[in-house]
Amino acid sequence: MISCSFILCGCAVVFKFGWYKILKDKDKEKQGEHGGIGTPATRSAIIKNLFERGYLAEKGKSIVSTDRGKALYDLLDDKIRYPDMTAVWEEQQQNIKGEQDVYAFIEQMQNTTIAPTVNALKANYTKPTPKEKPSSPCPECGRAMYQKSGKFGLFWGCSGWNDKENPCNHMMNDKNGKPVPKEPKPAQNLSEFDCKKCGKKLILRQGTSKAGKSYSFFGCSGFPKCKQNYDEVNGVPKYD
C-alpha cells in the first residue's frame, strides 16, 4: 500500500509542472510560483487537508474524489472551480505590496467568494435522514419498543419509559434482533416467617463471610426494596 505522504509528495510534483496545461487562457503567460497554483509549502498541506476532511481518498495507486467531495464540488460556483482561481488570488496578493489595500482585498473575497459560497451550501444542505432503529410494539401499552445495549447485552425497552404522565418501563430480552419475553425468575422458597419491617415472607439464604466461611441467614423476599435480614439460629430467624 502506498503511503499517503508518498502520494502527497507526488501530487506536489504534478501540480508544480502540470498546472500550465489547465490554466485559463488569460493566465497562461504567468510564470513562476507567483502566477501558479499555490506554492510547494501550501500544496501538500491543502491536499492533506482534503484527505482528512473526507473529500479525497486512496484507491489503489490513485487518488479519487469521494461522494462528499463530488457533492461539494457540484455546489460550488464555476469561478471557484476553475483551476486558475488561486493564480488570480496570488496576483491580487502580490498587488497588496504596492497597489491594492489589504482590507479591500479581504472585503472583496468575503463579498464575492466566501459569503456566496457559504449561502449556497446552506441553501442546498439536506440533513441526513437518521437510520431507522428496529422497533416493535410494546405488549403492555402499544407504544414502540426499541433495541438497546445494556450492561448484560442487548435488550428491548419501551419508548414510554420517560413519559411523565403515563410511563411504561416494560422490558424484553433480545433474541436474534427480535424482542422476546423475559424468562421467569425461579420460584422463591418462602418460609413461614415474616419480615418485621415490611411484613413480607422471609427466605432462607446462604452467604459467605469475609473469612470465606459459609453461613445461613433469613432475608426479606421484598429485596431490593426491603433489605432487612436476620441471623439464622436453629432454623428460625433471630428477631432480637
The DSSP string of 159-188 is GGGG-SSS----EEEEETTEEEPPPPPPPP
Give the pLDDT confidence score for residue 5 in this predicted structure: 47
Q: Is residue 104 assigned to a domain?
A: yes
| Cα–Cα distance, 105 to 113 (Å, whole number) | 11
In this prediction, residue 2 carries a pLDDT of 38
Does residue 21 fall inside a structural domain?
no
Question: Within this chain, do residues 89 and 41 fall inside the same structural domain, yes or no?
Answer: yes
Tell me, what's the pLDDT at 12? 47
Residue 25 lies in a domain: no
The residues near 12 (Cβ < 8 Å, ≥ 6 apart) are 40, 43, 44, 47
**Going residue by residue through the chain (240 aa), what tens digit of pLDDT does each one get?**
334 444 444 444 444 434 444 444 444 454 444 445 555 666 678 888 888 888 888 888 888 889 888 888 887 877 777 767 777 777 777 777 767 777 887 888 888 888 888 887 788 776 665 555 668 899 999 999 998 888 888 999 999 988 888 999 999 999 988 999 988 777 778 999 999 999 999 999 998 888 889 999 999 998 888 999 999 999 999 997
Do 119 and 43 belong to one domain? yes
Kindly tell me the number of DSSP H helices and DSSP E strands found in the chain: 7, 12
CA–CA separation, 162 and 169 (whole Å): 8
Kindly state whether residue 225 falls inside one of the protein's structural domains. yes
For residue 150, give Cα distances in angstroms to 34, 100, 136, 144, 173. 60, 63, 18, 18, 11
**What whole-number distance in Å separates Cα of residue 16 and Cα of residue 22?**
12
Q: Are residues 45 and 111 in the same domain?
A: yes
- The answer to whether position 70 is within a domain reads yes
Residues 111 and 86 in one domain: yes
Is 216 contained in some domain? yes
Range(s) of the domain holding residue 196 = 190-237
Whether 117 and 142 map to the same domain: the answer is no
The total of structural domains in the chain comes to 3
26 inside domain: no
Question: What local confidence, expressed as pLDDT, does residue 114 receive?
Answer: 82
Length of the chain: 240
**CATH number of the domain that residue 111 is part of:** 1.10.460.10
Q: Does 174 share its domain with 197?
A: no
The pLDDT of residue 59 is: 86
Residues 95 and 170 placed together within one structural domain of the fold: no
Residue 201: how many other CB atoms lie within 10 Å: 16
Residues 6 or more apart in contact with residue 71 via CB below 8 angstroms: none
d(CA 142, CA 156): 14
